[in-house]
Structure 1
Amino acid sequence: MNKALGQFSDQAAPADAPRAPAFLVTLYGDVVEPRGGTLWMGSLIECCAMHGLSESLVRTAVSRLVGAGRLEGMRIGRKSYYRLSDAARDEFREASRLLFLPPPITEDWLFCLTETPQEADLPAPWVRLSPNVAIAPNREDVAPIDGVMMRARQLDGCGDLRSLAWEKWGLDKVSQIYEMFLERHRGLQERLDGDVVLSPEEALAFRLRLVHDYRHAALGDPRLPLECYPPEWPAEQARRLFVTIYVGLSDLADTCVGQSFLNDDGALLAHNVETERRVFQLKREIAAWDEYRLLTKHYTF
């Protein structure tokens, strides 16, 4: 890892380099997609070097993403540029909801019934209760599957829904990933609350690693109704940490983008409508927490 990241290695950022293909996905989602989707290969290489990824690893990862239809390349003179494919752009927009909008509150369930037993794999967060019955949390982003669709709520006091959810959705692993995120980044929040001074390059490096780790945790979370989780479930704490650090780093991080990142038209904008909208949404989320805390404090008897 670069020394710029190593100074906070104790609980502030993971010491090992991330996997290159997954990290490039994070980089495009956080920095490039809201600024048009195209980036010069040289900017990719320079940014990834801060995270211990060599030029050869980056080039290999780019080739794999091109082969998978996630990136599209073009060459102008001696320089290569890569942009998101249309399909990947749609995926990024959907994934950005997990990062920049408050998690939805899921209150009930979707059931799918089929006349004949089914064995095909289901899209997350659907799981099978039996060969003829599948279940998923009822949210706007959960698409129906083939079969007779129904909605349901658990009757109070009937059955152990928490144990069922823990088994079917592997919530022990989800919890571990959230806890790892908290362990890696809690120290950075403590330092940001102190008198630490970061350069724009360091701020962007930490924000990218923050997004990379939180995205991994949030994508694995099926976001079930609250009664499925124990009181110490770490998702809310992880969410608050992510939002607070992201907002705290963004001014400097976006300055680095404007100074160091190039596409085929020149320098990427440090700020635009989309990047400002993202930060505004997160600040509104913080404001809602503060308002709720004041209300509960005022009405506590």
Structure 2
Amino acid sequence: MNTGATARESYYERTGEHRFKPTAHAGGAWSTDEQHFSPLAGLVAHALDRHAADRPGGLVFGRISYDILGRIALDECEITVETVRPGRTIELLEATVTIGGRAVVRARAWLMASLDSSAVADSPHAPLPSPDTLPRWAMDAEWHGGYVSSIDVRRAPQSRRGRATAWLSSPLDLVAGEASGPLASYIALVDTANGIAVQQDPTVWMFPNLDLTIHLHRQPEGPWTGLDTTVTFGPTGQGLTSSVLHDVHGPVGQAEQILTVRPQPHR
């Protein structure tokens, strides 16, 4: 019987207790047969979040660091999570993403006790302009892939290459039929930073990131992920994408991505 309800689209479908199949919306920007790392980072955060929820203590995430070990094919993946260092006030988790029997991502997350420090809360970073005040940016005019086509990007006019301020949101679920916490939904958009403030034309130069490290001083709230991003290219093939992270209430932390900068191969 058709009730008239329309199923929401998603980046992944669960195929087992720890297994997930990417949809076309998870397609990468550098190659259509690869996953974009942004939704996968959110999926890993989702797995870490669920693992942490089963443990007592009420700890919150202070850092998640991802190492990208190789090509991430647009294929079914398995995510396993273990507790490396249990504790009542701090805890360290590790997640491994495996595709075709090969580890492609390893992530470590520090969880910390949540205490009331509101009396001294402060940041030198000013809040970003509201998403409603910034124009939509057709990111898919410069980048390709299912993920880029799925997101809503509001970007301020750039003052120079390598600098951008943007807000991102997505109408898609992270995992079909599953509620994701605000942290996983927020992180699922952070890796996009490397594509919003490009230094060079991506059809001429490649600059994929090898990692993503996120530090948080406050737990983010959705539905918008704010990025105040700076991209630097060095003279010997390395680059760095640095972002101050925001939600609509103000800054929440910082993200860093190390880049491998090289010319696109001749075709």
Give the TM-score, by structure 2 length: 0.25
Q: Which structure's residues are more often helix, by fraction?
A: 1
Larger Rg: 1
Q: Which structure's residues are more often strand, by fraction?
A: 2
